[in-house]
Structure 1
């Protein structure tokens, strides 16, 4: 096998792997992964600036009830009126969560005065360990504007379903505690609560800031 062919095969495998990951976002209730995968490979609208395309008719976001770091109830109504930059993760996350939150924090700094029109939100998928106090201290490490949210397992599960977030508890061999396997997209929601841009893991602060400015007009 020539080097060019090996590279082409590798790129194909990586591309298909990314699509399989996206099926967790677009899968409808009762739909198999295979069906969602096939649908995802079909015609999709062009992505907005800096984001990922989703098939037409896919809904992301919706009603939720959670609590903030002070124990106050927060619903979808509290996110209206500003753009919302939403990320699901957990405070014990060893890698992707702090990396993505750092990108969100840097994007907010890049926006300058326009950052007042954006509300960054971190929602835990580990309510068993992430108490309001814990999540409040955690988000403060990254940026003062980030709103940390938690809730009961049922409340967190409902919010994750609304945003089509995949998560599962896993215990590595020999480990004394569990980790959370989860999808790691960042969602840019409009002032009306509709999805405007979906950022892949690893999106740069510059990409986020550019996409946000495009929504601010």
Structure 2
């Protein structure tokens, strides 16, 4: 099982590296990588699952059915009409998740009044522990606009599969509590639910805010 997870993680990194490489090599003068990715995505045929058709026929994004942190059942369609900033993680995460959610929070602050046109979503990869109540408590630590989403293990797996998110349980040596190994990209979806940009772990709020502003009119 561990070998399979490692292979899946490596395949994800290779795919995302190829996507970023294509966006970098095909930039127009003065164009950022996020804008280049969105432009290249716009030149591809409409995707079948609501994501952007990537090189070699791979797509990122798609429909999902989950529960928000108030306990309400929601689907991807509930967030159409706004840009969506999506991050997959878990509330017991000791480092990466708080760091990335803080960056998303700062991005929302940088956007000012334009933040009303953006919906940040935190989708757990640990539905066993991350109940709606736990998510409500957690996202409140970062920004009032962030919505936490959970669901059954099957629903989480389907959402993660649509976005090519890798995750797996991992128990540190000497610990009785497990953690979740997971990929840590942030996804920017357009008002139509299609992928507009990918942000690497550690992307700055300024980078994300610039990419969001570039897509507000689309």
Which residue is 1:62 aligned to? 62
Deviations 1:76-123 (A, max 9, x none): 101100000000000000000000000000000000000000000000
Which residue is 1:158 aligned to? 158
Separation in structure 2 between the aligned mates of residue 121 and residue 98 of structure 1, nearest angstrom: 14
In the alignment, is residue 23 of structure 1 matched against residue 11 of structure 2? yes
Contact 2:20 2:33 in 1 (8 A): no
Which residue is 2:22 aligned to? 44
Which residue is 1:185 aligned to? 185
Separation in structure 1 between the aligned mates of residue 135 and residue 198 of structure 2, nearest angstrom: 24
How far has the Cα of 1:205 moved from its partner?
Answer: 0.4
Separation in structure 1 between the aligned mates of residue 63 and residue 19 of structure 2, nearest angstrom: 29
How far has the Cα of 1:24 moved from its partner?
Answer: 1.6
Separation in structure 1 between the aligned mates of residue 95 and residue 58 of structure 2, nearest angstrom: 29
Which residue is 1:3 aligned to? none
Which residue is 1:80 aligned to? 80
Contact 1:49 1:214 in 2 (8 A): no
Aligned residues: CA RMSD: 2.5
How far has the Cα of 1:58 moved from its partner?
Answer: 2.7
Q: State the structure with more CA Rg.
A: 1
Contact 2:110 2:206 in 1 (8 A): yes
2:109 match: secondary structure: helix
CA distance 1:44–1:73, shift in 2 (3 Å): same
Which residue is 1:32 aligned to? none
List aligned pairs for 1:106-117, cutoff 5 A: 106-117=106-117
Structure 1: 5+ residue stretches without partners: 1-19, 28-35
CA distance 1:41–1:196, shift in 2 (3 Å): closer
Structure 2: 5+ residue stretches without partners: 1-7, 42-53
Separation in structure 2 between the aligned mates of residue 208 and residue 42 of structure 1, nearest angstrom: 15
1:127 match: secondary structure: coil
1:94 match: secondary structure: coil
Deviations 1:48-67 (A, max 9, x none): 84549695233111111000
Aligned residue pairs, count? 188
Contact 1:24 1:164 in 2 (8 A): yes
In the alignment, is residue 194 of structure 1 matched against residue 194 of structure 2? yes
How far has the Cα of 1:176 moved from its partner?
Answer: 1.2
